[in-house]
Structure 1
Amino acid sequence: MPTQPLPLRPGADRPCDTAPVLSGRLLVGGPALMPRFGDDVWNIGVAGFAGNRYASEFLIDFKSLGHPVRREAAREFLFWRLNTRPGRGPLPSISTVAAEWWNLRCFFRFLDTEHEGLRLDAVTQPTLDSYLAHCRSDGLLPSSLRHRLQVLSRLHFAAQSVVTDALVINPWNGRPLTRVIGVEPTRKHENETPRIPPNVIGPLVQAALFYIRTAAKDIINARAELTELEASVEDIHGLSLDRLEHYLHGLADEGRGVPVVDGVGRQVHLAGAPAYTYVMRKSGAGRGIAGGVYDERIDRALELLGPEPGGMDTPIAPHPQTGLLWRDRFSPAAVPHEERLLRTACYILIAYLSGMRDSEVKELRDGCHFTERSADGVVVRHKVRSQLVKGGRGTAESWVVIGPVAEAIDVLRQLPHRDALFSRPVTRDRYSTITANRMNENLNKFRAHCTRIGFHVPDVDGEPWNLTTRQFRRTVAWHIAHRPYGTVAGMIQYKHLSVAMFEGYAGTSASGFRAEVAAEEAMARLADIVERYEDFKAGVRSSAPGSTRIDNEFARVREELQDFPGRVVDERRLHAMLRTSANTLHVGTLNDCYYQPETALCRTVGGTDQPMLNNCRPDRCGNSTITPRHRNGWESARGDTERALAFVGLSDLQRTALREHLDDVTKVIEGIDRAND
């Protein structure tokens, strides 16, 4: 490999060293922060708008590439990526380019170690095949493997702009990477993020609410006590046995034990041993372990008084379920441990009950929560301000949220933080943000911790459920679409949640949450129509006026697909043929409505694409179908009517109306039975 970059190809233009790298992008700071083409380090994070990422992830350090040819080729490629729109789409996000910088270095490292520093313009298809095998040997998942290889295609697209050393060959002759890797392409608009199972999200939210409403006050008070103790240490000079004796006598008078290490943090191996440093500092006898007569006095007191795990003074609240204290007294090491759990609990409530993205949750800052009254002055709405983050672009917007989200934000405000509520102060840096990867780790630690505080989270298929930040938005969208009247954590209604989230910005197209719910509803309707088609094939028939139309539709589909016993049909084709019917399906307790405005009894004038459910006449409408799955609902209606008829004091008109309704309900039940004899 040559020791210096080759001369530019004829007609190629290299950007000048002073050319701005992020032209046309909104910067977080002033223009002085704009990186220039000739800089050895580009901080593209000044246009990143991603509070859920480490700042170092957006630093592109060309000096990390040992060879000047590699440095120049990477510089030219990344400049092209940051300033070139793919087709008619927007510029690639800062996060995307930062990830490509990592993937580019991986490819360069492979060429340097496995192919003796081969230049890009000398790469052949066998070289790329060997790189694919090399990446497979790392055990990457198909999605990660595809992202690792995408940079190769983009290097080829940028060949005319990378003047120092370009990838001339078209990787795999332009074949889609899904075929190269050997996986089925993802169906368009299909969300692959797993949903958190109901038996996991229920106790998880309950535990988070417990931390917000019960544990938070104790943790905040413990932090205040610890801060006061740390400040008082500065005033301790020398050693004082009298102060130690006074402190130990005070413990005896209060009926307390001697503080011992509680096993939290790095001192697990010392659990149960006297907390010598804490006792010395708390008593004012010294700044740390003194040894000798001081340790002997503490040991003797431990024998007389017994141990007290933790040893701090902050009172502990009773657990609302048991009436017992929810934990032992705090130790200095336990305070940051519990703060981390409390921040995670706040994250769970905010992410799940607001529908905000991970990056948007972590952009919450001081003063983000406010309230507004409705126009009539009756309803108080909770709102939060944050950055709408999508594609690396930040826009200030607001979300309507419910009470528990506001409570979580208020707790975060009282925890040690910088401007961003999810950033905690550290001694070595201005602040340290809980990043996406760290939050995933914290979420799973919180899930494991739930059982210890009385909220058991069961395993799924024999394994603990692996939580990630992406799952909360997907899960709440699914629950709102599939179980609009269900509950979570015992008290929170999904219907109430959906109304609040749709009322404000979170339901608009820019946030995308309403679109996600709509996509989930479409998938639910398709699943329902497929299930009803399978029932039709099994001989289940519906009653009510609309049954003929849908049964004829199912018969047509079955005939066209030749979907008879012993024959396997194309599932995608079946779904495509049933999707039209699914688009008009509205599932109900007493019937299913295959809505058509022209035959809808619920409307008297005009027509739209939605039925008026309050005016539904399920036993008479031409859009209605009633199947055996609805029988329980009708049986319940018959029982309610019979109990109402038993009331004493009904007027003749009321009794007549109830008898007529009972006759109608009975006819529906008999119709269900006749259709499926």
Structure 2
Amino acid sequence: MTTAAVTSERPSRSVFAGADIAATALLAWRKGYPRPRFEDEVWSFTGWADAPVQMSLAEKTWRFDRIRRPAWRVVAKEVALAWLAAGDSRVLAVPRARRVPRHPRTIQARIYHLTFWLNWLHERHIPSLAAITQDHCDAFLRDYGVVRDRSGQVVRPKSGSTLRTVVSAMQEIADYGELLSADGHRTGFRPWGETSPRVITGAPSRPQVVIKTSPLSDDVLAPLLTACLHMIDELGPHVADLRRLRRADQQGKDAQLVRRLFDKVRLTALVDGHLQAGSPLPRLDPRQIAMRKARGWDPEDPLLEVNFVHLLRPTGHRDIAPNLFRQARPMLEEAVTRVGVEYVWCRSADLVPRADTGEMVPWSLPMPSVRADSLVRAAGHACIVATSALTGMRASELMELTVGCHRTGTDDGTGLVRHRLVSKVIKARRWGGEVDEWVVVEEVVRAIALAEQLTDATTGQLLFGPFQGFNSNGAMDWLRQWVASPAGQRLGLAPIPGEPIHPRRLRRTLAVEMGARPGGLFATKVHFKHLSVATSEGYAARPGGAQAGFHQEWKQAEAKEKLARTVEAFRQFQQGQLPAGPGADALMATFRTVEGELEGHDPGPAKVVTDRQVELLLKKKAAALHLSAANYCWFEDPAKALCLKLAGAKSASAPLTGLCDSARCPQATHHIAHRFIWQNAADNGAVLLASPRIPPAEKDRLRAEHERSMRVLEEIDTAAGKAG
């Protein structure tokens, strides 16, 4: 069939001609915002009411004008609207059309890729889509599939996901052929036929999801959490007050003030007030001092650093008249000599404890305006980072938080307060996301409360708003700079290493910490047990809610860690480092059984027992393991659990860690990894027993605890030293 014949079969006018894009796609639209029409060369979605906060302005702007050939612009518009309005009757009539609409962010990315494809054809003088052959498609994919530098040299191949997107878009032009009015492929032609984009590009299939994000190490997490929580809990109220004062000062600058003061009596009274109170005159910001020097001020002038705007603020004036300034100079210079000059902000600051030693120090030294604003900004970023680290919320979910998002409820019969944050789940949800709740701990509530004091947003407006990760001049840059500055060092904060920190890594770190390290770093900075319980409650209360996905990730990390700990204990057993504690004999019996199975198993030609074989044999045992800071609990039989007996509980699906007495429980074991905990307990007990301030009755209890710690230490050392 010739190109002319194919063209003659096409409608002379687009079925979408004159269409209101928002109405056709059933998009909620804000009043007062322009509504894009089909004929527009640029479709703007800035008025889309349900757009997620993380959707950038570029993603809301669909640029068809970049496609050089006008007929192909129409093709791109028709396909884009068909993707968006999949439920429209005109689209449903197309047999190969998608029945599920694509997200506007996805469509914008596809338009971006299609632009390169169509312009590539235009540069090679391809007259119409009907003239395209498979060779053209292959050649374009080879050219487009690599990243080149400015000289045209290949730097690296593009990702499989990027190429899969462009191949899919190329194929779907043929799929929507019945809708196209301006141009289209010849009958029967589809790029690469029925071969899927995944096969064409070699991109991995979607079900093979592998978490590549690595958790943060203790060297990064420790100073990060310390800095955020110290700033929120200790400095937060003072920073909020500072911001209010700064806002009032800014409003004062905008007020209608008289330009110059001519009254010498008022100026004299103002200076005398500073002298009598012993209050230094206001000091000018360093940047303004540099500007004065550039205008010709003598660097040795005693009045160079005096901030006259702040000095005259009580009089309602901005500056001193020249004649009055010459007359008053001796008086002003004498005042500088007697009381000096100092920055206005944070004078006589309240005392707060240092983060490292607890020593009480002023929360801030006097600072210029620019540093005050930087401190307020750093505190706001600390709130974002702390909320992300302690909730596991994604960046898209943090951006959807609004002022007033905190909800407090009391459980019936318990009197316990439950804190929740209301936000939206964006990932894998319908356009605009779905409202959901996160159960959180009190540390997060304090972070949200401070963040609400550091913003001008009102109830219902965005709290944090859009942000691009935490780096690239974002939250982490400001926070790192402040912590590493003299102000942060004076408060005993350790510098935060320059390793990348973003919500994905914080989410992964939280999952791993909760699954693998009960009593680890989080226990020293936040109530780990409360954090675990709160997250579990969020999952249990809303099984299909936002925390369900995080709960699953956490449980996967926990299962992986349990298996790793079990295999580690088995390897130590093989090396002669035996477990100790009441449950040691039962555990070693299991290990001997596994050894027997391994010895009787033919591993194949290699004749080597792999770690995978060991893991499979120990998987059932690892499932019963519950990690504790000072022991392993092999919770296989609830009837034998000492904690349940002490609590009077007949059955339970998990041990009661708060009632654990591992020195007496028949399902508890102690390993060399727990020695450090017991040694610390023994050392602390010895110090307390030596103190003359401890009452005799209390010493009897401490002595029993100390003897138990020493006995467990001796058992661990003895067992670790046994052979066979």
Match of 2:453 in 1: 414
Residue equivalent to 1:71: 73
Partner of 1:381: 418
The runs of 5 or more residues in structure 1 that have no matched partner are 425-431
Aligned counterpart in structure 2 of residue 133 of structure 1, from 139, 146, 162: 146
SS in structure 2 at match of 1:518: helix
Q: How far apart, in 2, do the equivalents of 1:299 and 1:112 lie?
A: 79
- State how 1:224-623 maps to structure 2 within 5 Å: 224-232=244-252, 233-242=254-263, 245=267, 250-253=273-276, 254-262=278-286, 274=305, 278-279=309-310, 282=313, 301=332, 305=336, 308=341, 310-312=343-345, 316-321=349-354, 323-376=360-413, 378-391=415-428, 392-419=431-458, 433-437=465-469, 441-452=474-485, 453-454=488-489, 455-458=492-495, 464-488=498-522, 490-504=524-538, 508-511=543-546, 512-532=549-569, 534-535=571-572, 538=575, 543-553=584-594, 556=597, 562=603, 579=619, 582-588=622-628, 592=632
Q: Which letter maps to 1:240?
A: L
Residue in 2 aligned with 1:428?
none
Q: Which of 143, 154, 162 is the aligned partner of 2:168?
A: 154
Q: C-alpha separation between the residues in 1 aligned to 2:77 and 2:323?
A: 63
* Shift of residue 78, structure 1, vs aligned partner: 3.0
- Partner SS state of residue 255, structure 1: coil
**2:283, 2:519 → 1: CA distance?**
50
Aligned to 2:228: 208
Give me the identity figure in percent: 19
Q: What is the SS of the residue equivalent to 2:53?
A: coil
Q: Which moved more, 1:529-538 or 1:152-161?
A: 529-538
CA 1:266–1:585: 2 relative to 1, 3 Å: farther
Cα deviation 1:80-102 (Å, max 9, x = unaligned)? 44356999997544444444444
Distance 1:488 1:445 in 2: 24
SS at match of 2:419: strand
Work out whether 1:169 is the aligned partner of 2:205. Answer: no
Native 8 Å contact 2:392 2:503 kept in 1 = no
- Structure 1 partner of 2:692: none
Helix, strand or coil: the match of 1:46? coil
- The answer (yes or no) to whether the contact 1:382–1:401 under 8 Å persists in 2 is yes
Structure 1 residues 484, 638: CA separation in 2 closer, same or farther (over 3 Å shift)? closer
State the match for 2:723 in structure 1.
676
Report SS of the residue matched to 1:72: helix
Hey, what's the Cα distance between the residues in 1 that align with 2:600 and 2:652? 31
Which residues in structure 2 correspond to 1:586-665 (within 5 Å)?
Answer: 586-588=626-628, 592=632, 629=673
- The structure-2 alpha-carbon separation of the partners of 1:492 and 1:268, relative to structure 1 and needing over 3 Å to count, comes to farther
CA deviations 1:240-271 (Å, max 9, x no partner) are 2548945556555543144222459999999x
1:197 partnered with 2:217: yes
Q: Residue type matched to 2:164 in 1?
A: Q
Distance 1:527 1:670, change over 3 A: closer
| Cα 1:664–1:219 shift into 2, 3 Å | closer
Find the aligned partners of 1:466 and 1:449 in 2 and give their Cα distance: 17
Instruction: Quote the residue 1:18 is aligned against.
Output: 19
TM-score by length of 2: 0.70
My pick for the range that moved more, 484-493 or 444-453, is 484-493
Q: CA shift at 1:516, angstroms?
A: 2.1
Q: Deviations over 1:500-527 (max 9, x none)?
A: 2322368744212212211221221233
Cα distance in 1 for partners of 2:595, 2:127 equals 61
Structure 1 residue 160, shift from structure 2 partner: 0.9
| Bigger mean CA deviation after superposition, 249-258 or 366-375 | 249-258
**Aligned in 2, Cα 1:545/1:411: closer, same or farther, shift over 3 Å?**
closer
- The alpha carbon displacement at 1:69 in A equals 4.0
Query: CA 1:641–1:249 in structure 2 vs 1: closer, same or farther (change >3 Å)?
Result: closer
Given residue 454 of structure 2, which amino acid in structure 1 is its aligned partner?
Answer: L
In structure 2, relative to structure 1, the CA distance for the partners of 1:642 and 1:414 (3 Å cut) is closer
SS at match of 2:59: helix
- Secondary structure (helix, strand or coil) at the match of 2:145 reads helix
Q: Give the aligned residue type for 1:450.
A: V
Larger deviation: 96-105 or 343-352?
96-105
How many corresponding residue pairs?
Answer: 652
Equivalent in the alignment of 1:427:
none
How far, CA to CA, are the matches of 1:590 and 1:327 in structure 2?
40
Counterpart of 2:248, as a letter, is E
1-structure distance, mates of 2:29, 2:250: 36
1:248 and 1:8 map into 2 onto residues whose CA distance is 90
For the Cα contact (< 8 Å) 1:208–1:348, is it kept in 2?
yes
Structure 1 280/498 Cα, relative in aligned 2: closer, same or farther at 3 Å? Answer: same
CA 1:175–1:334: 2 relative to 1, 3 Å: same
Q: 1:248 to 1:201 in 2, by over 3 A?
A: farther
Give the 3-state SS of the residue equivalent to 1:193 in structure 2. Answer: coil
Aligned twin of 2:93: none
Cα distance change on mapping 1:384 and 1:629 into 2, 3 Å = closer
State the SS of the aligned residue for 2:159: helix
Deviation at 1:535, TM superposition (A): 3.8
**Helix, strand or coil at the partner of 2:422:** strand
TM-score (structure 1 length as normaliser): 0.74
Confirm or deny: 8 A CA contact 1:350 1:405 kept in the other structure.
Answer: yes
- Aligned-partner residue type, residue 132 of structure 1: G
What amino acid is the match of 1:510? G
